[in-house]
Chains A and B, each alone.
Chain A
């Protein structure tokens, strides 16, 4: 049983005009076994939260804390955060030419576990996970993300999540750009991970569509860099009917 705790997180990015504040005091607590959906309009800071948790150098944490079972996540390097149990499924996975998927997966698994996985069971696990995600076995020999279609990239992200077995998985708009078939395959993968009660999921999305396949325990609405409203799955239904206009007009009034 683990807890990821985000307290009063402020994050800014460097722009030509100087630092620009994106997150303005985010509070969020996620426990193992829970699925939290973060929804919100474009530019509300959802992806910034995801990348800040993973430690992308572009984002500067100006105040606040993030702890994983009490350990200061913000003090850890990018790779140490991953080894501590955080996983970020990226919206725009990066191409790494010349590095095969199978080599990449094995290297990552070895880094996360601190030792190389036993060869026989590892090969079996990879094959099974790829099969579940309806990925062709030839995929393993391709260079990481190079020439992948949008759907292949997202499936590859979910494949990593299933194999690396994080404590907390952050999915940054994994549903964006997917057709219904790919969305279903990806959602099944997330649900397989969710079955494990030791995993917490933070699902970042712009659309309610994915929530028909993955049921969240909690829904948080992000507006202007912080949580504007929180509730259960019913909040997602309300958003589906009403959209974000209600929040946006509020935000505009404040500005």
Chain B
């Protein structure tokens, strides 16, 4: 009955300008996140072997179908069906490859993203017209339409959500069914737009999913990006946010709950390239069961031009049982000292026996006490989403996760936090 918590927190508000201020410690250290190759050409990304910085935590063998190694980086499957129920103010189109609006937000940064770009047959474009205020949530359903595990056809999809100037909308993307899918989600917010995008990954068992979310955020725009990962064997999500105009804000929230054998990976990159933008990243995860593995890597780059930047990123993991592993790596690079604030924190802990004792000493049975603690762990994050229908669904989903395997919750587990502790005492070193 021991409690172990690794807790890290740094405040970089007063950090000095330093071009190589990164805390990442990997087998292949990079000079800067900015120097990582990006390309629309899949040939620029060899099939990963697992030793690359961006793949070192990933189960390469299970993701192999999405690398398209045997077909020159192009997938031809038709394993998913995309359906959109849009708000009346919102426009939906199915467009062919080559539509000029596609590929404007960022550039693929890894093999699966490049395969997705090389492979999608047609794309779904969701447009919130200039100054339109969507009166309802726009729901996009990405559904795996194949039956058994044997029939899985690796597939690719492309989705663009474009909020034009001064528009306002909430878009929820649901990933369900059984699929092997590499996906691109482009999120473009023009000047002054207010856009919330929720992406829920609740695949059936046996599914493998890689998704590149690329956000381009214009002047004075506010984007809330929420990634929820619950179901699927392997889900790897790489949200890249790029500011292209001053005065913009991005809030990136994530919630994940890994059960036995599941691999859930989230790698974020916030690129502060222009002045006076704000970014807030908060990801929280719970793990339970043998082989449950979560990865959170949060890269923030404040370029020399990005004066007045205000950024903070946080990752918290709650390890509920033996045999689960959480990796958490916050990285912060600061190239200018003229910023409002920059910080990050990462903490991975086991179930707190003292919390359980306190609740049980008030008559609350152990199972209920554990549920209260887990619910509490996620509550604040869920309330930040601001979309009541999504919040209710997520609370329900967490209840179901707890229902599923509360009985296996006991003992301790590995908890790994790495990277940032190196930089804590050697600021700028």
Contact = CB atoms under 8 A, between A and B. Distances in A.
B353 interface: yes
Contact of B360 (A58, A77, A103): A77
A54 interface: yes
A96 B358 CA distance: 9
Nearest to B372: A99
Contact of A94 (B354, B364, B366, B380): B354
Given A96-B373, A111-B365, A78 B360 contact: yes
A57 B355 CA distance: 13
Interface string B360-376: 11111110110011011
A209 B264 CA distance: 56
Interface stretch (A82-90, A117-125, A230-238, A245-253): A82-90
A160 B361 CA distance: 11
B379 interface: yes
Interface in A101-124: 103-104, 107-108, 111-112
Contacts of A83: 363
A103 B376 CA distance: 11
Nearest to B316: A97
A32 interface: no
Interface of A: 54-58, 77-79, 81-83, 87-88, 90, 93-99, 103-104, 107-108, 111-112, 143, 160, 164
Contact of B380 (A78, A98, A107): A98
Given A94-B355, A96-B358, A104-B372, 14 more contacts: A56-B357, A58-B1, A79-B363, A82-B360, A90-B358, A90-B361, A94-B354, A96-B373, A99-B376, A107-B372, A108-B359, A108-B362, A112-B362, A164-B362
B364 A107 contact: yes
29 contacts: A54-B361, A55-B361, A56-B357, A57-B353, A77-B360, A77-B366, A78-B357, A78-B360, A79-B360, A79-B361, A79-B364, A87-B361, A90-B358, A90-B361, A94-B354, A94-B355, A96-B372, A98-B377, A98-B378, A99-B379, A104-B359, A104-B372, A107-B364, A108-B359, A108-B362, A108-B363, A111-B362, A143-B376, A160-B362
A108 B364 contact: yes
Interface in B1-57: 1
A174 B369 CA distance: 24
A55 B362 CA distance: 12
A12 to B, nearest CB: 15
Contacts of B377: 97-98
Contact of A97 (B1, B359, B366, B376): B376
Contacts of B376: 96-99, 143
Given A57-B1, A57-B353, A98-B377, A78 B372 contact: no
B369 A79 contact: yes
A22 to B, nearest CB: 18
A88 B358 CA distance: 9
Contacts of A94: 352, 354-355, 357-358
A118 B355 CA distance: 27
A57 B362 contact: no
Nearest to B379: A98
B355 A111 contact: no
Contacts of B364: 79, 107-108, 111
A112 B375 contact: no
Given A56-B357, A78-B361, A99 B366 contact: no
A161 to B, nearest CB: 10
Contacts of B363: 79, 82-83, 108, 111-112, 164
Contacts of A55: 361
A99 B378 CA distance: 10
A174 to B, nearest CB: 15
A99 B380 CA distance: 9
A205 to B, nearest CB: 20
Contacts of A104: 359, 362, 372
- Which residue, of A54, A88, A96, has the highest number of chain B Cβ atoms within 10 A? A96
Contacts of B368: 107, 111
Contacts of A77: 360, 366
A82 B361 CA distance: 6
Contacts of A88: 361
A247 to B, nearest CB: 30
B358 A93 contact: yes
A99 B365 CA distance: 16
A212 B363 CA distance: 31
Contacts of A98: 375-380
Contacts of A99: 372-373, 375-376, 379
Contacts of A111: 362-365, 368
Contacts of B375: 98-99
Contacts of A96: 355, 358-359, 372-373, 376
A-B pairs, top 5 by smallest CB distance, nearest first, are A98-B376, A82-B363, A98-B379, A108-B362, A111-B363
- Which residue, of B358, B360, B362, B365, has the highest number of chain A Cβ atoms within 10 A? B362
Contacts of B369: 79
Contacts of B352: 94
Interface string B374-390: 01111110000000000
B414 to A, nearest CB: 22
Contact of A79 (B355, B365, B378): B365
Contacts of B365: 79, 111
B379 to A, nearest CB: 4
Nearest to B373: A96
A100 to B, nearest CB: 9
